[in-house]
Amino acid sequence: MTTFDVAAIRADFPILGRTVRDGRRLVYLDSGATSQKPFQVLDAERDFYEKHNAAVHRGAHQIAEEATDAYEAARANIAHFVGAQANDIVFTKNATEAINLVSYTFLNATLKSLRGKDLPKGAQRFVLAEGDEIVVTEMEHHANLVPWQELADKTGAVLRWIGLTDDGRLDYDSAKLIIGSRTKVVAFTHQSNLLGTVNHVAQLVELAKSVNAVTVLDACQSVPHMAVDVVDLGVDFMAWSGHKMLGPLGIGCLWGRAELLNAMPPFITGGSMIETVSMEKTTFAAPPARFEAGVPQAAQVVGLSAAVDYLNAIGMGNVAAHERHLTQLAITELAAIPGVRIIGPTDTSNRGSAVSFVVDGVHPHDVGQILDEQGIAVRVGHHCAWPVCRRYSVPATTRATFYIYNDDSEVHALASAVRDAQKFFGV
C-alpha cells in the first residue's frame, strides 16, 4: 500500500465529483491523454485573469509589469522543477510544437546554409546534408516521428529507427548499429505512451554523444510522473506538455542547452522575438524570447506553475511510487483474466503507468464502449503511435493510464468491466 492520501487529492479535482452515463461515478483512466486539473491550477489561472491580465513583455503600466513578473516567475518555477535554468525554457503551444521547433531548426539552418547565409556560431550542428541520418525509435508517438519524417523528406536526410524487443523494450543492441557517423540527431521518448516502457536515456545519450549527434528527449509521459532532472539526463533538448501534468491546455515546454538555443535561428517569427526591425532586416532577441513570438500564454504558464507547486507538495518520488503500485495492481488483475494480453512490459521496473492491453475477440473500441458505459474513461485506438501497434501486430489497444488521483478501487473497476466486455461479446 502507498502512504498517499488519494481521497484528499481527489477532493481537489472538481471534475472527479461529476457523474457520467446515467449517474455513474467517473473513473478517469486517461491521464496519459490529458490529466485533470485541481482547484489550485484553475484558481491560479482565474486569479491571473481577474487581477493581472495584460500582454506580457509589452507596455509599462502596472498590470503589464505584474503580468510579466508572473510569467517570468512561473518560468523560473517550471525550470526548477526539471533542474533547469529559467532562460533555457521556451514556452510553446504544446509538446508537438516544441518538437517541431527543434526539427524546424534543422530545416531552417539547412535552408539558410544552402543559400550561403551566415549562420550563428554553433548552428552548423543543425545543418543537414543529403544522406545524413535522423534516428528515432519505433515506440515514438506521432509527435516525435512525423516531424522527423518531414525533415528527412525536405532535406534528403535519411530517417532510421531503433527497433523494439518482443517484451516491449528498446533494442539497445540495434541502437549501437543504427547510431553512427552520419547520425545528426537522435530523438526518442523517455516513456512510451503506449507500452509504458521507460528508456535508458543515458545509454542513448552516450551513443549519440560519441558521434556528436544532437539528442531530443520527448518527456511528455515522464515529467508528469517521475522526478526528472534534465542536467542529469544529459540530453540536448527536452520537450513536454503542461496539460498532462495537471496544467492547463495550450502550454508546452522546450528545454534546450543554452549554447544550442543561442545558436539556433528562429522558428515562428513576429513580435516579441525581435531585437531590432527595419523594413530590410530583423535581428533577433536572445533565447528564450527568440522562440516565443507573439503575445505569450501567460495565464496558462501561471496555471502550469501552480501545477508544479501542487506536484512538488506531494513529491515526485511519491507520485512515482503511487503509480507503480497502481500499475502493478492493474497488470496483475488484467493478466489474470483469460484472453487478455498486456502490450508492453509486464514487470514494473523501468516502466510507467500506461497499461495497454488487448482482449481476444473484442476490438478495443468495443472494450472501450463497455467500459464507458460503466463510467470508466480509457483511451482506445492506436494512441497516436500507429507503428507501435503494427510492431506488435495489433490493430489498436485499450489503454489505461494512472495518475495521482486514481485508487485501487478504480483498478478493480477496470478489471471487472473488462470481464463484463468479454461476457457481453460472448468470448
Q: Binding residues for another protein, per CB under 8 A?
A: 363-366, 369-370, 373, 380-382, 386, 389, 395-396, 424-426
Counting Cβ atoms within 10 Å, is residue 252 exposed (0-12), middle (13-18) or buried (19+)?
Answer: buried
Q: Which residues pair with 353 in a beta bridge?
A: none
> Phi and psi (nearest 5°) for 45?
-65, -45
Q: What is the dihedral of CA 216, 231, 223, 294, to 10 degrees?
A: -70
Tell me how far the alpha carbon of residue 285 is from its chain's centroid: 27
- Catalytic residue list contains 389: no
**Nearest in space to 169 (alpha carbons), one of 204, 134, 135:** 204
Quote the least distance from Cβ 372 to another protein, whole Å: 8
Q: Which residues pair with 20 in a beta bridge?
A: 24
Smaller CB distance to another protein: residue 72 or 366?
A: 366
Smaller CB distance to another protein: residue 90 or 367?
A: 367
Which position among 220, 253, 384, 389 bears the catalytic label?
A: 384
CA distances from 231 to 85, 100, 194 (A): 10, 22, 26
Q: Is the dihedral of CA 399, 405, 410, 411 positive or negative?
A: positive
Quote the least distance from Cβ 137 to another protein, whole Å: 20
Distance CA 350, CA 317 (A): 14
Smaller CB distance to another protein: residue 233 or 396?
A: 396
Quote the least distance from Cβ 272 to another protein, whole Å: 35
> Where do the H-state alpha helices sit in 82-200?
95-114, 146-155, 172-178
Quote the least distance from Cβ 250 to another protein, whole Å: 21
Quote the least distance from Cβ 170 to another protein, whole Å: 23
- Annotated catalytic sites, by residue? 384
